[in-house]
Amino acid sequence: MSGQEKDVPKYMGEPVLLHPEEPSLFEAKWLRYFNQHVVGQEFAKNAIVHMLLGASSSWRSRKFPAKPAGAMLLLGPSGTGKNELVRALALGLCGGKDALLRIDSGNYSDAHNVSNIIGTTKGYLGYDHNPEITQWEIDKHGYLYEQHNPALVETYTNIQRHLSRVDRKLKKAQSFEKIEFEQQRVDLLKKKEKFDKECGYKPGTYRAIVLFDEAEKAHKTFYRLHYPMLDEAYLKLNSPPSDGINPVLLHNAIICYTANIAAEKISALMSGRANRYGYGIPTSSPNNSRDKNIYKAALKETREFFPPAFLRRLGVENILVCHPLTRDQLREILQRFNTEPFRQEVRFAYRCDLVITPEAIEYLLDESTDEVRREHGAGSLRKVFEYRVEHAILNLGSKKADNGGLAPGSVVEIALAEAGGKKHLAYLLHPDAWQGSVPREGPGSICTEGALIPRVFKKFDI
C-alpha cells in the first residue's frame, strides 16, 4: 500500500511491514511487535500473524477479495489480554490503539435493539437516525494513517455529521421548510464530492479493525447480521447513511470478536482445580496436553452457545483461546505497563522519582491474586496498583512541601513493612535525593537516571 513505509508523525504508531519479500521476516517482525505490547498469549499471537500474512496480499494489491481480510473470535477469562491484542493490532495497522470501530455487544441484548447497527426500516421509529456502522466509520482510521493528516479526517467527519443532521431535519420538516434543507444538503454533497476528488478517498480500500466486544451478551438475532459480513464482506443497511454508501464494504477489514465463554473452565484447567469434577488435568501435566484440553473445553462451550451458522462462517481455526496469566507474566505487566509509565509521569509532573522495591512488587502481586481478585487477571492488578501506588503519590503531591508533600528532587520509595504480624506498604521519602533530568517533551519521554543519594528516611502517612 502506498505510503506505508514513510516516516510517521509522533501521534501515530510505528509502521508495520505489510508486504515482505520473505514470510519469515514478516512473521518475525510482527511477533516482535506483539511482544512489545502484549505479555503472554503466544498461541493467539502466532495465529494472528498467520492471518495477517494472508491479508497483506489483498492490502497490497488494493483488490476486493471475496471475504474479509480476517476474522477471529478471542475466548478466555477477563484480564488475559483479549482487547489488548486487538488494540495492539489496531496500533500496528492504523497507527493508534483506539484506531478501530468498537461495538459493545451488550447494547444489543434485546432483539429490538439489534436494528440500531444497520438502521431502522422505513416507516418505523428511528428511521431518521444514522446506522452505527457506516463506510466512513470503517475507513476513517485507515485513511488517516495513509494521509498522515488528522485535519482531513476531521473535516470529512464534520461534513458527514452536518449531512446526517440535515437529513434528519429534512425527513421531519414540513413542506415549506424542505426547500431550505434541500439546498443545505446539495451544498454539503458538493463539498463531499470535492473532498473525495481532491483528497482521493476511495471507500472500502483502507485497512480497518472492527471489534464486537463481549459478543456473548448479544441477542441471538444479532449474529444473523454477521452472516453476509463473514461470507461476502458486506453489510446491507436499512436506513440510508449520511455518506450515501450502501452496502458497507468490509473486504479490507479484520472483524474481531471477544467473549468470556468457558472462562471458569479455562481457569480451572490452568490451575488444576477442576480435577475432582472430572474434566481437569493435573498441573504437572505437559503444557501441550494442558493446552489441548483447554482448547477442547472452550470449543465445546462455544459450540453450545453460538449459532452453528455463525461458527461455520467464522471457521474453527479462527477461534483463539487466551490463557490466564501466570505470576511471572503479571509481574512483567506490573513493571512494564504500570510502574514505568507512572514513574515517567511522576518525574515529569513533580520533578521527583519513584522507587518500588522487589518486596513491594511481590506484595502487590499477592494482593491482586487473592481469592477475590484472581479471576480478573491484569485488570485487578491495574486496580491494585492504582489504589496502592497512584492514589498515594497523587495525594502526597497535592500537599505543600512544608507540610510533608513532594518537593522537586525528592525520591519516594515504596517498601514492604511489617507491624503487629501483618505486612503492609510503607511510603518513604528521600528529600533532595534525585539528580535526574526531567523530559522536555512530556511524560512519555525518557528521563535520565539519577543517583539515589543516601538520606535519613522520612516516613509519612497517606
- Residue 298's domain comprises 23-321
How many structural domains are present in the chain?
2
Question: Do 370 and 277 have their domain in common?
Answer: no
Q: What percent of the chain has pLDDT over 90?
A: 8
67 SS3 class: coil
- This prediction has a pTM of 0.77
2 part of a folded domain:
no
Residues 221 and 295 in one domain: yes
* Whether the bond into 341 is cis, omega within 30 of 0: no
Long-range contacts of 447-451 (CB under 8 A, 24+ apart): 447/344, 447/347, 447/348, 450/353
Separation between Cα atoms, residue 100 and residue 251, nearest integer Å:
15
Chain centroid to CA 185 = 36
Q: CATH number, domain at 151?
A: 3.40.50.300
The pLDDT tens digits for 268-312 are 666 655 443 333 333 444 456 667 777 887 888 888 889 999 999
Q: Where are the beta strands (DSSP E) in 294-431?
A: 319-321, 353-356, 411-419, 422-430
Q: Given this model, what pLDDT does residue 211 score?
A: 94
Is 260 contained in some domain? yes
For the beta carbon of residue 339, count every other beta carbon within 10 angstroms: 19
Look at residue 255 and tell me whether its pLDDT is greater than 90. yes
Residue 360 · residue 427 · CB < 8 Å: no
In a domain, 5, yes or no: no
d(C-alpha 329, C-alpha 332), whole Å:
5
Same domain, 129 and 220: yes
295 and 333 housed in the same domain: no
Tell me: do 308 and 351 sit in the same domain. no
> Could you tell me if 265 and 305 are in contact, meaning their C-beta atoms sit under 8 angstroms apart?
no
3-state DSSP call for residue 411? strand
Whether residue 424 is predicted with pLDDT greater than 90 in this model: the reply is no
- Examine the domain organization and report whether 276 and 404 are in the same domain: no
CATH of the domain at 341: 1.10.8.60
Examine the domain organization and report whether 268 and 150 are in the same domain. Answer: yes
Write the burial class of residue 124 (CB in 10 Å: 0-12 exposed, 13-18 middle, 19+ buried).
Answer: exposed
122 and 76 both lie in a single domain: yes
| Shared domain check, 453 and 342 | yes
Cβ burial of 460 (10 Å; 0-12, 13-18, 19+) is middle
Q: Which residue's C-alpha cell is 503479571?
A: 330
Tell me, yes or no, whether 273 and 369 share the same domain. Answer: no
Pair (315, 386) in one structural domain:
no
